[in-house]
A and B are shown apart, each in its own frame.
Chain A
Amino acid sequence: MLNRSAAKRRLLNLLLATLGFVWVATVYFLYEHGASSTVYLLFLLSVVLAVAVVGLQRHLLPVQEIRRINALASEIVPGIGGEAKAIEEKGVPEEILPITQAYNLLLDYHEDRHRQERDFIADASHELRTPLAGVRLQTQIAMRTDDAAKQARAHKNILVAIDRGTRLVEQLLTLSRLTADKKVLNPEQVDLRRCCEIAVEALAGAADAKRITIEIDNDQAVFTLMAEKSSILTLLDNLLLNAIQFSPEGGCVHISLARDLGGVTISVTDEGPGVPEADRARVLRRFQKSAAGTKTGTGLGLAIAKRVVELHSGDLVLGEGTGGRGLTVAVTFPVGSGDKRAC
């Protein structure tokens, strides 16, 4: 449609320009040779012709197409604040088809994002119901009984449920922040061994409560990485807390650091029930818990860990622990030129 009329228009313009040039040249030639009345007549004629050309141009302008574009624009505008609809690509002038397609793609992307956010909120509220149900129930128990021991037990349970809810809210915020981030915001040289030590210290209480030993490889090598320190600590906190939760009483959690051509790898191995191979992809998604889980976790730990790794262009792999027992979470970060291994 438009492209054909546009080609015609281009051709016509070229023709008119040539004609105009010849015309001006003729008028000038006659003027130079003193034919004044002829020049006057020709000048008048050229004005008339110019007006005619402008009129013809207007007529040949793709009014139909411009109307269509305006109609498209007025279809798009109500989508702001309302329900944005994709543009039907059929019948759209070829010239603006790429823009239409790009618009539709953008719309798809945003709809997808929006759906993910909605799912996230639905999942989050669903998950929050459990600790809230616990608080409500235990409060009612405490109110119903006169037995001091039962009341004390209910109060303790209320605290446990509140702590669990709090952890869930914190984890949700962490995941939501990490999901919003598109890249590592404050990269700096991070000493991974030191990070492991900080994370282990922070979880000493939780580990002690189950008499769990956390050991870090005794290799004295220092591993540094350009990364966001707070995210790396979040990653380690989540991996270690999972390991502690799934480990049996008196178990051992092992952290190892290694480096090869692929980059720097931190592995956390526990002596828990492990995750069957078929379940490994699933448990990385948020709110998906391992069958062996006792529901004490928030179901967000691995999703958070995975997001931190993604932001750092790394890789997270779940595997078996030592001797086929337990779970190993291996996180590999590629090492750029800015990273070095100092000894």
Chain B
Amino acid sequence: MRILLVEDDKIIGDGVSQGLQLESYAVDWVTTVKHARGALDLTTYDLMILDIGLPDGSGFDVLDSLRRTDGNMPVLILTAYDETSDKVKGLDLGADDYLIKPFDLEELLARVRALRRRASGRRTPQLQLGPVILIPSTHQVTLAGELVKVGPKEFAILHVLMERAGKVVSKRQIEDSLYGWDMEVESNTIEVHIHGLRKKLGKTFIETVRHVGYRVATDA
């Protein structure tokens, strides 16, 4: 999953970005309204974390213009403004959730998971396809009730594929959800991780759609 983080405070921005990356999310971090708009034009994001007080304007403006073109991307507002009117304004402009600084990293991550879940139309916190269960909050994967040890990148790839079960996900899409701008992508990494997952979950769970990408079947 790829997240756009809009936060002008260096320490908080760095902390959120690190925290999300430790959870294997791809994060692009910008510090101004201008750069946020640029990033939204260039890249498709699964979620945006948005600060309100930005040096060249208000995060509300970013949200407002986003909602004119994209009604679906979950937006979480991150702000030091605890005035009720600001919360109301943010939610009314189309934000899905908000957190007030200082906040707990665990809570932020839980809200990100919840927003992701809601965006994919699920209510249950875990994803299940046949014998495979993926639990986002604990980063655990089980196969027929047995815990399977998967690495963070493997987990992230499996999460993307299971979320879009039945659909083909291209290698590019997987890469986009794993690596932010400042991360170097090794060309064969995706294949290596898919190989690793197949070894752990059985050869047929993830199928290769030649020249297009990968897919897990809904009736796996």
Contacts and interface: CB of A to CB of B under 8 A. Distances in A.
Contact of B11 (A134, A144, A145, A292): A134
A234 interface: no
A130 B104 contact: no
B131 interface: no
Contacts of A135: 11, 102
Interface residues of A, number: 29
A295 B15 contact: no
B11 A294 contact: no
A140 B18 CA distance: 10
A294 B80 contact: no
Interface in A110-143: 126, 129-138, 140-141
A312 interface: no
Interface in A141-167: 141, 144-145, 150, 153-154, 157, 160-161, 164
Given A133-B103, A294-B55, A138 B11 contact: yes
B107 to A, nearest CB: 10
Contact of A130 (B9, B14, B19): B9
B101 interface: yes
A314 interface: no
A69 interface: no
A130 B15 contact: no
B117 to A, nearest CB: 22
A334 interface: no
B102 A129 contact: yes
Nearest to A162: B11
Contacts of A289: 55
Given A130-B9, A133-B12, A157-B14, A141 B105 contact: yes
A62 interface: no
Nearest to A294: B55
A271 B8 CA distance: 22
Given A140-B19, A144-B22, A157 B105 contact: no
Contact of B80 (A129, A137, A150, A154): A129
Given A136-B104, A140-B19, A141-B105, A161 B55 contact: no
A133 B104 contact: no
Given A141-B105, A289-B55, A292-B55, A130 B12 contact: yes
Residue of B12, B80, B106 with most partner-chain A CB within 10 A? B12
Contact of A134 (B9, B55, B81): B9
Interface in B79-103: 80-81, 101-103
Interface in B6-51: 8-12, 14-16, 18-19, 22
Closest 5 CB pairs of A and B: A137-B15, A134-B11, A133-B102, A133-B101, A140-B105
28 contacts: A126-B80, A130-B12, A130-B80, A133-B9, A133-B101, A134-B15, A136-B105, A137-B16, A137-B19, A137-B102, A137-B103, A137-B105, A140-B15, A141-B15, A141-B18, A144-B19, A144-B105, A154-B15, A154-B18, A157-B11, A161-B11, A164-B11, A291-B56, A292-B55, A293-B55, A295-B9, A295-B10, A296-B10
